Structure 1
Amino acid sequence: MFSTPAVVASCVGFVLIGVLQALYGPAIPAFRDEFGLSPSAAGLGLSAHFVGGVGGVLLFDRLYGRMGNRRILGTSYLLMALGAAGFALAPNWPTGLAAALLAGLGFGGIDYGLNQLFAVGFGHRSAAMLNVLNAHFGIGAILGPALIAAVGAEYYPAVFLAFAAANLPLLLCLRGVRDRVPQPAPGATGTTGTTDPSGTTDPSGTTGAEAGGSALGRSLASVLAVFVTLYVLHVGIEAGVGGWEPTHLETVGYGAGAAATATSVYWLMMTVGRFLIAPIALRHSAQTIIVVCCAGMTVCLLLAAVPWLAPYAYAGVGLFIAPLFPTGLPWLHAAAPRARRAGALVIAASMVGGVAAGPALGKAIEWSGVRAVPLLLCAASALCLLATLWLIRATRPHSPSP
């Protein structure tokens, strides 16, 4: 699917979408000063970005297979560049929101397009390559706030313009992307395992053909629904920790600086975790990795309720949650090979999870207090573990009858 320069360019593309998503928050003080906005109105910039992202995933999913992959990715890069430039030069806030929505459309197209192509384009290495790809998103998410801090929030238009320009050279690397997706070969599911001529695998892996017919009587709709639930919950946990960890740590006695540093470590551990899991994904199935990570995440969130352990436990959450998003996609393609839009559904659901996490967790905190944050997130993580165990059972291949 990809030449070596195209793989490198794709990783750079994920750095850029990480930068874009992370630029809005640090620039909020400058938005408010420039346009006279309330905090909630300024926060609409990121909301418009996510709404555009969901729209971009669903729009480009409809075009997937009808347009060539190069055209889809090229259009996405151009939309991101135009949206970012429009946001930088917007004369008023409604125009800025429209530009953020446009940039979000391109963001969604890149997020969906590259995840989809990496999930089917590297055979048994797909899970490893998806983790490497998504790790670069984390690098961008760390770089974005650093850029704003370096130049000052009041110069955010220059940063957005530089971001827009950085998208354009990637268009030259698209010729290294195969324009049409080949039919998945046996074993190309992102899990390990040897395939014999009958199409079965050993216990460590699952082929797409088997998984498609091995739902143990469960309907495809049920399997997809549980995958969507898993993605909504785990992205909600990811956003919930990132958003509420500083508040929780300050509530239990840490200083503002220490709380902010611990939150940065959480995001750093997410990036490190995706690089670390790449070689592991070559030797172990996606199912095994995800169930271990869900269990580890649940334990770490439980430990985060102990004040002196909390910063270290949150770092552990970052490490364990890191592989879930990229590692789950090859498993999804194996479990539902005939559901062409399954990938778009869960990627869009993950964005919805990120948007919904803030108000949902905020309402729960109003009832239970800030000290309950890790326990609330632990409950959601336990549901992720249950969903994973259900999916392992539901997608396990049948043993052939004698």
Structure 2
Amino acid sequence: MKRLFVLSCLFYLLIGITSVMTGPLLPEMLPYYERGYGDGGTLLFLQFAGFLVGVLASPGWAARIGKHRLLSVALISIAVPYAVMGFLPGWLWMMLLTLLVGFGSGIIESTIGAFTIEFAEQNKAIAMTQLDVYFGVGALLMPAAISLLIAAGWWPYAFLTASAFTFVLLALWMTLPGRSSERLRSPNAAMANSASVKKRYTGGQFRLLAVFVVFFFVYMGLELGLMNFLPLILVETVQIGNSTASLGVTSFWIAMVVGRLFAGKVAERMSYVPFLLWSAIGTLVFITALTMTTHPVGVLALILGIGLAMSGLFSIALVHANILIPGMTERTTSILIASGGIGGSVLQWFIGWSMARWSAGSTLWLLMGFTLILLLSVVLSFQWKKASQGSPSLQAGNRFME
């Protein structure tokens, strides 16, 4: 099972890479194809649309063909399009291939997240945060690699490099020993291990699910909003140069990766609700302080604090939701990741509208409002847990990570 977990980490490294591949390449791609910024936005939207379809389709497909075959399909949906994109086909082909990459990425994030929560029976938080570490490493390193390729005039090789890595991962996945993946190969086993296909949520579970849908919708809007608009906010509020402002995003992701190295162990010791509460409170405090700080060093320190505070929110909340709603792991994971993807898209537009209509300072207050919603969601989930379910017990060993 240890090999399975290592491959799961590599899967998350891959989707970290795919999540940031298109954006850094747009300054080169758009002039090459004689396209404008609107076409770049369309390309990003198509990747998101494919991701959403992949996330929503994965539970049903896993039940029919098994997770092992489904993940093989997902890897092919990424490896082949990137290989073709490296040769710079026509723009319509680039749009279609980008849609396929998003589709494969959505299947991977949903499926890997679901069976990690299912198999890591005791230390679920540690397993999920370790996966998120690899996602963060991919999202952190790929833009740097792309910038080097662009500087050398070899930017199409970014697609070929990602394709080569995906093909290697596919080969490792296809040769995974049967003993390590027997629970992933059979469609019937997939159906038995996840009753989410046939069971329905009870009234209390549905209310809990609604709370977590709001949580993930807002969280991804906050994370992506900080990632994409932080440089603009810093330029306006701190009055620093563009190159210096871009370091804010790098610092944010470094803090996220470092925080995820420890978040799982801390959450297991504290228990999930206190961890989520203190993480949301910490995020709120640091963002509030950011509205009142103009010194570059102080701003950098606060950005590091925000990254550390937010580092475990996604993975621990995902584990917490699945514990509160047992027996529905695949469906719950798929719904929550999909809601996060939609929230990231919708709220980013709202943040951009705020920047254009008001000011960067007002946008920071908007981000504070998002954090308050996260905090309220955690409190509500705890109250409903006490009222309807009590505290579920976790037994069995940590076989998945051994």
Please tell me the residue identity of whatever aligns with 1:332. A
Task: Give the corresponding residue for 2:394.
Answer: none
Task: Give the corresponding residue for 1:206.
Answer: none
Of residues 359, 364, 371, the one that matches 1:374 is 364
Of residues 271, 275, 278, the one that matches 1:292 is 278
Q: CA deviation at 1:72?
A: 1.2
Task: Give the corresponding residue for 1:346.
Answer: 336
Alignment of 1:34-45 (within 5 A): 34-45=32-43
Counterpart CA distance in 2 for 1:356 and 1:90 is: 30
Identify which of structures 1 and 2 has the higher relative contact order when contacts are C-alpha pairs closer than 8 Å and 6+ apart.
2
Please tell me the residue identity of whatever aligns with 2:344. G
Q: CA deviation at 1:368?
A: 2.5
What 5-or-longer segments of structure 2 have no aligned partner?
194-199, 392-402
Alignment of 1:264-279 (within 5 A): 264-279=250-265
Question: Which SS does the other structure have where 2:89 is aligned?
Answer: coil
Q: CA deviation at 1:297?
A: 0.7
Deviation per residue, 1:363-400 (Å, 9 max, x gap): 2233431222221100110011011100111112449x
Task: Give the corresponding residue for 2:196.
Answer: none
Count of paired positions: 368
Deviation per residue, 1:271-318 (Å, 9 max, x gap): 111112122133232222111111111111111102223332222111
Alpha-carbon RMSD = 2.2
Counterpart CA distance in 2 for 1:15 and 1:395 is: 33
Asked whether the equivalents of residues 28 and 43 of structure 1 are also in contact (C-alpha less than 8 Å), the reply is no
Q: CA deviation at 1:264?
A: 0.7
Of residues 237, 240, 244, the one that matches 1:254 is 240
Question: Which SS does the other structure have where 2:156 is aligned?
Answer: helix
Of residues 212, 219, 222, the one that matches 2:204 is 219
Counterpart CA distance in 1 for 2:289 and 2:190 is: 44
Question: Which SS does the other structure have where 1:320 is aligned?
Answer: helix
Q: CA deviation at 1:11?
A: 1.0
Please tell me the residue identity of whatever aligns with 1:27. L
Q: CA deviation at 1:182?
A: 9.8
Asked whether the equivalents of residues 62 and 190 of structure 2 are also in contact (C-alpha less than 8 Å), the reply is no
Deviation per residue, 1:200-225 (Å, 9 max, x gap): xxxxxxxxxxxx99x9xx63222111
Moved more, 278-287 or 33-42: 278-287
Question: Which SS does the other structure have where 1:310 is aligned?
Answer: helix
Asked whether the equivalents of residues 220 and 343 of structure 2 are also in contact (C-alpha less than 8 Å), the reply is yes
Of residues 239, 244, 259, the one that matches 2:224 is 239
C-alpha spacing 1:164/1:328, structure 2 compared with 1 (3 Å): same
Question: Which SS does the other structure have where 2:342 is aligned?
Answer: helix
Please tell me the residue identity of whatever aligns with 1:229. V
Task: Give the corresponding residue for 2:197.
Answer: none
What percent of counterpart residues are identical? Answer: 24
Alignment of 1:3-402 (within 5 A): 3-152=1-150, 154-174=153-173, 175=176, 176-177=180-181, 178-179=183-184, 180=189, 219-252=204-237, 253-306=239-292, 307-308=294-295, 309-339=298-328, 340-396=330-386, 397-398=389-390
Counterpart CA distance in 2 for 1:168 and 1:239 is: 28
Asked whether the equivalents of residues 53 and 103 of structure 2 are also in contact (C-alpha less than 8 Å), the reply is yes
Please tell me the residue identity of whatever aligns with 2:5. V
Asked whether the equivalents of residues 124 and 282 of structure 1 are also in contact (C-alpha less than 8 Å), the reply is no
Asked whether the equivalents of residues 231 and 249 of structure 2 are also in contact (C-alpha less than 8 Å), the reply is yes
C-alpha spacing 1:118/1:398, structure 2 compared with 1 (3 Å): closer
Counterpart CA distance in 2 for 1:69 and 1:89 is: 31
Asked whether the equivalents of residues 82 and 103 of structure 1 are also in contact (C-alpha less than 8 Å), the reply is no
Counterpart CA distance in 2 for 1:162 and 1:334 is: 38
Question: Which SS does the other structure have where 2:35 is aligned?
Answer: coil
Counterpart CA distance in 2 for 1:110 and 1:320 is: 26
Deviation per residue, 1:70-118 (Å, 9 max, x gap): 1111111111112222332342212101100001111011111111111
Deviation per residue, 1:162-198 (Å, 9 max, x gap): 21121122234433333246978xxxxxxxxxxxxxx
Moved more, 367-376 or 379-388: 367-376
Misfit runs of 4+, over 3 Å: 180-184
Please tell me the residue identity of whatever aligns with 1:244. F
Asked whether the equivalents of residues 114 and 333 of structure 2 are also in contact (C-alpha less than 8 Å), the reply is yes
Q: CA deviation at 1:246?
A: 0.7
Q: CA deviation at 1:245?
A: 1.0
Counterpart CA distance in 2 for 1:284 and 1:124 is: 14
Please tell me the residue identity of whatever aligns with 2:319. P
Deviation per residue, 1:112-149 (Å, 9 max, x gap): 11111111111121111000001100000111111111
- The structure with the largest helix share of the pair is 2
What 5-or-longer segments of structure 1 have no aligned partner?
185-211
Which TM-score applies when normalising by structure 2? 0.86
Counterpart CA distance in 1 for 2:89 and 2:171 is: 32
Counterpart CA distance in 1 for 2:343 and 2:191 is: 31
Please tell me the residue identity of whatever aligns with 1:305. T
